[in-house]
Amino acid sequence: MVASLVALRQPDYGYALLQRLAGHGFPVDANTLYPLLRRLEDQGLLTSEWNTEESRPRKFYRTSDAGEQVLRLLLDDFAAVQASLATLIEGDPR
C-alpha cells in the first residue's frame, strides 16, 4: 500500500504501476494490485480518471490529498521503526 501511494504521487495506470513497483523490488501480482487500487480509491486515498485519448482507454490513478496525509503518517512510522532497528543493530544500550 505504501509503495503504491508513493509511486502514484505521479499519475499512472495499473500495468505501468505494476512494472514500476517490480523495478523497485516490489513485485506485485495484478490480481493483488487492482483490488488494492479500488480499495484505496474507495477509501479516498487515491483518485482516478479515464484517459480515452488513446486507442485503448486507461484508468489513471493518483494519490489524493487524503492519501498524501496518510502516507506522511505511514512514512513517519516507518522512519521511527527504522531508527529503532538501527539502534538495536548498532547495539545502543537504551
Q: For the domain that residue 16 is a member of, what is the CATH number? A: 1.10.10.10
Determine contact, residues 12/60, Cβ cutoff 8 Å: yes
Hey, what's the cell of 15?
Answer: 500495468
pLDDT bucket at 86, cuts 50 / 70 / 90? very high
Q: What is the pTM of this model?
A: 0.86
Number of domains in the chain: 1
Q: What confidence tens digit (pLDDT) does each residue in 28-66 have?
A: 999 999 999 999 999 999 999 999 888 889 999 999 999
Domain range holding 64? 2-90
* Measured distance CA(19)–CA(23) in Å, rounded: 6
Determine contact, residues 57/51, Cβ cutoff 8 Å: yes
